[in-house]
Amino acid sequence: MLYAGRTWGDKPAFGWRDVLEVYNEPPESPVTSSNMSTYSGKTGSTSTTWSKSSAKYTEKLLLSPYRWMTHNQALQEVRDLGSGLRELGAGNRSSRGFFAIYSVSS
């Protein structure tokens, strides 16, 4: 981290996008007489209307533009974490294990 902070400083290092909205999108195939359950159109005619009661939907996400943390900001986060651990009693030679789920939403 020290090398990255010295070398790349204020250049972007870690990027992420926030989830703004979750919505469902209909499948890729239109409603036909064979997969129709509640459809108000003519049977057998070609249509782009989707049957909500019989179709499976795909979950889609509306995402924000990328947000970035620079190398210097990441270095400061590491220093803050280390200072906190030291305040809790962790010494230079003590070892600790960390377990985390790698996801912003979890």
pLDDT digits (tens, 9 = 90+) for 54-75: 457 777 888 889 999 999 999 9
pTM across the whole model: 0.56
3 within 8 A of 13, measured Cβ to Cβ: no
> Residue 26: CB partners within 8 Å, gap ≥ 6?
50, 52, 55, 57, 58
Give the pLDDT confidence score for residue 34 in this predicted structure: 54
How open is the CA angle 59-65-70, to the nearest 5 degrees? 125
Give the pLDDT confidence score for residue 18 in this predicted structure: 86
User: b/e per residue, 10-21, with b = 16+ CB within 10 A?
Assistant: eeebeeeeeeee
The conformation of residue 96, written as its DSSP 8-state character, comes to -
Give the pLDDT confidence score for residue 54 in this predicted structure: 45
Q: Which residues of the chain have pLDDT under 50?
A: 35-54, 106
Give the pLDDT confidence score for residue 62 in this predicted structure: 87
Question: 3-state class of 44 per DSSP?
Answer: coil
> Residue 23: CB partners within 8 Å, gap ≥ 6?
59, 60, 62
Give the pLDDT confidence score for residue 52 in this predicted structure: 43
